[in-house]
Chains A and B, each alone.
Chain A
Amino acid sequence: KAGVTQTPRYLIKTRGQQVTLSCSPISGHRSVSWYQQTPGQGLQFLFEYFSETQRNKGNFPGRFSGRQFSNSRSEMNVSTLELGDSALYLCASARTGSYEQYFGPGTRLTVT
């Protein structure tokens, strides 16, 4: 069974631009969560989607948004990029009713 896939793996953007990251969950998993990982703040929860609905949201500004499609694939968008948004963005998926989350390899975003 294929794991969680994320595209692109690496991205370089300029401050003020916007970016869209994509995540394909493990087949059959309907829950997708997004996390930001930085050396200073560690792993922080962004939001969670289930059946195309945002179920939970972390403490991030409104510039961070996401959505989920009917096939459970998810995208997250960051608008008006800031230098501090440079991070590894991780996507995790889970089966319905399970607490176990499986992470993808992440997208390394660099904002210059």
Chain B
Amino acid sequence: GENVEQHPSTLSVQEGDSAVIKCTYSDSASNYFPWYKQELGKGPQLIIDIRSNVGEKKDQRIAVTLNKTAKHFSLHITETQPEDSAVYFCAASYKRGSQGNLIFGKGTKLSVKP
């Protein structure tokens, strides 16, 4: 079945530095790739997403890139701030026409040190 691998599992950066989290997916039919941020005691919050017909998308300090050939996608956070500290999950949607069926990576715990 579909599988999503996420690396690294933990990431520690200094405030102001950039952070990069990488994911790979197995099913070439996947066409939607969201990223979620989960803070302690809360549900995952959608922060950015990308469709398979787009190579890159930016939203202020956050960007996502997609390489369909290599089946890789990455989250880039620039000018990190302490409030960016959280667990980040990548996901892939592998079933066309379905709004569910997100397959998640195992998560990356990002710590931003002031």
Write the chain A residue with the least CB distance to B91. A43
* Interface size range on A against B: 20 to 34
Q: Does chain A have a CB within 8 A of B98?
A: yes
Contacting residues, chain A, for B1 (C-beta < 8 A): 59
Q: Please encode chain B, from 94 to 113, with 1 for each CB lying within 8 Å of some chain A CB and 0 for all others.
A: 01001111111111000000
Contacting residues, chain B, for A99 (C-beta < 8 A): 32, 34, 49, 51, 93, 99
Q: A33-B99, A43-B89, A56-B95 are in contact. Are A102 and B46 (CB under 8 A)?
A: yes
Contacting residues, chain A, for B44 (C-beta < 8 A): 43, 90, 103
Min CB gap B83→A, angstroms = 19
Contacting residues, chain A, for B89 (C-beta < 8 A): 42-43
Q: Does chain B have a CB within 8 A of A70?
A: no
B43 near A100: Cβ-Cβ < 8 Å: no
Q: Does chain A have a CB within 8 A of B10?
A: no
Cα separation A42 to B44 with both chains bound (whole Å): 12
Q: Does chain B have a CB within 8 A of A26?
A: no
Write the chain B residue with the least CB distance to A47. B100
Cα separation A106 to B42 with both chains bound (whole Å): 7
Q: A4-B43, A105-B42 are in contact. Are A98 and B101 (CB under 8 A)?
A: no
Contacting residues, chain A, for B104 (C-beta < 8 A): 35, 42-44
A56 near B100: Cβ-Cβ < 8 Å: yes
Cα separation A100 to B51 with both chains bound (whole Å): 11
Q: Please encode chain A, from 90 to 112, with 1 for each CB lying within 8 Å of some chain B CB and 0 for all others.
A: 10001000111111111000000
Q: Which 3 A-B pairs have the closest CB atoms?
A: A48-B100, A103-B43, A43-B104
A-B contact pairs, 9 of them (CB 8 A): A33-B101, A35-B102, A42-B104, A43-B89, A48-B100, A56-B95, A101-B34, A105-B43, A106-B43
Which residues does B use to contact A, with CB under 8 Å? 1, 32, 34, 36, 41-46, 49, 51, 89, 91, 93, 95, 98-107
Which residues does A use to contact B, with CB under 8 Å? 4, 31, 33, 35, 42-45, 47-48, 50, 55-56, 58-59, 90, 94, 98-106
